[in-house]
Amino acid sequence: MITYVDRIGCENISDLESLIQNQFQGLFGGVHLLPFFNPIDGEDAGFDPKNHAQIDPRLGNWNDLKSLSEEVDIMADLIVNHISAESEQFQDYLEKGEKSEFNELILTEDKVFPNGASKEEIAKIYRPRPGLPFTKFTLADGAEKNVWTTFTSNQIDIDVTSKKGEEYLENILQTFEASGVTMIRLDAAGYAIKKAGTSCFMIDETFEFISAITERARAKGIAVLVEIHSFYQTQIEIAKRVDYVYDFALPVLVLDTLFNKNASNLKNWLAVSPRNVITVLDTHDGIGIVDVASEDGKPGLIEDDALSDIVEKMHENSEGTSRKATGAAASNLDLYQVNSTYFEALGRKEKEYLIARCIQFFVPGVPQVYYVGLLAGENDMELLKETNVGRDINRHFYTLEEIDQRIDSPFFQNFKKLIELRNSHPAFEGIFEVKDTASNILHLKWLNGKEWAELIVYLEDMVVEINYSQSSSVKKLNFI
């Protein structure tokens, strides 16, 4: 499960431990806790920490996290690209400039472009938001500095190649190790290395940085998941260098399969996709489009025209609510994603939504379920109106009462059966196969010795069969 501590009916980490032990008992072997650092309610919901090595006191402390780690595996974010503009380090830099002990930590334009960046060089820089990748700050002595701010002006990019940068990241890793964290997600790692004359995104030096920090984490018994939205061939290359990557292509490929009643694009992807993946349908961010799109004339996993139709279908299914949260409509950082819950993207149809989850749970990888998706949540228009942050449409604050009501629903009980099958059946530790079928039939099978499990989706009629071995007999999972 991937969740915020304070948005799933919990006030703190101890409450979350209780929720996992009770309402969600037996469902999850691990939990990715979205930023729980101080503070959790900055401009970017914790992704702009003032202190990355401190838990927000409202949620608890490192001992609480250690306790939770004895119940489930813990994944935490290592935010490698930036710190908060309100952090001690940046405030010291603003006051003292080049005399600050953190001077080399703060990445300024002139460190990458000593003579200033030309229009051509700036045009090359890959950015997740419109506008320049810099913000002008005035130091205490009146000097003005263009500071790298890839995301927002409150997220100050750091020089990860400097000694101070290495010390900063090492301190966080040591804190994680001592507190029972067994996996990290490298957040925004693709933007971490800046080099004049390049896109400053996933360049050769970025790969080297990812490899180096992966080695440092592994030495502490911590596995590494790299979070990159990019062209699918780039994702395949990254997967060779780390423990895990996200299968960000899957969410849109599943929509393509269900919308068009054609599994051809999904089958093509499964023939080449990495196996060391965390599979998702939804996350705390939007539904990624760039992951299946074309790039620089190279074809993507879905033809561009068909992809545009899929995006439009998502907006139609949500009755236009996703359109109000996407692109320039709602202060978005990432223009390459559609902001919507996955349930809304499928028109709030529980049958189709369960089929989508069946596909996710039968493709290779470790399935990860976002807390809103676990409860088949709808777009939160009240929260969107309150914050005007597009991604908040899929970041609902659940009460414990809402959760209790939802887990009693037929939908959740059916979803629970699927999760339990995926967790317990030995076939999923074996060999994966995509059976050769017509494009309107998807047949996925796992085989481990005499144990097997299969999913067959008849897309024309949206009929599903799940069959599996049990004590030398054939069992069916019937819930759709």
Residue whose entry in the numeric block shows the structure tokens 């799933």: 8
Please state the rounded mean pLDDT for residues 43-61.
92
C-alpha to C-alpha distance for 383 and 255, rounded to whole angstroms: 26
Nearest CA to 407 out of 22, 63, 11, 5 is that of: 22
Q: Are 191 and 184 in contact (CB under 8 A)?
A: no
pLDDT at 331: 41
Nearest CA to 215 out of 188, 241, 187 is that of: 241
Catalytic residue among 227, 256, 344, 454: 227
pLDDT at 334: 43
pLDDT reading at 432 higher than 70:
yes
Going 83 to 87 to 88 to 93, the CA torsion angle's sign is positive
C-alpha to C-alpha distance for 246 and 229, rounded to whole angstroms: 9
pLDDT at 336: 72
CA-based end-to-end distance of the chain:
23
pLDDT reading at 215 higher than 80:
yes
Candidate ranges 239-243, 330-334, 436-440; pick with highest mean pLDDT: 436-440
Catalytic residue among 187, 247, 334, 392: 187
pLDDT at 330: 43
Average predicted confidence (pLDDT) for the chain: 94
Please state the rounded mean pLDDT for residues 376-399.
95
b or e along 378-402 (b: 16 or more beta carbons within 10 Å of the residue's beta carbon)?
bbbeebbeebebbbbbbbbebeeee
Q: Are 196 and 121 in contact (CB under 8 A)?
A: yes
Read off the pLDDT band of 471 (50, 70, 90).
Answer: confident
Percent of the chain with pLDDT over 70: 98
C-alpha to C-alpha distance for 189 and 259, rounded to whole angstroms: 33
**56 a catalytic residue:** no
Please state the rounded mean pLDDT for residues 330-348.
78
Least trusted range by pLDDT, from 80-89, 234-243, 339-348, 429-438: 234-243
pLDDT at 332: 40
pLDDT tens per residue, range 129-160? 778 999 999 999 999 999 999 999 999 999 99
pLDDT reading at 21 higher than 70:
yes
Read off the pLDDT band of 228 (50, 70, 90).
Answer: confident
Percent of the chain with pLDDT over 90: 87
More confident residue, 332 or 186: 186
**401 a catalytic residue:** no
- Cα distances (Å, whole numbers) of residue 384 to 356, 387, 393: 26, 5, 5
More confident residue, 239 or 76: 76
pLDDT at 342: 98
Least trusted range by pLDDT, from 27-36, 330-339, 405-414, 454-463: 330-339
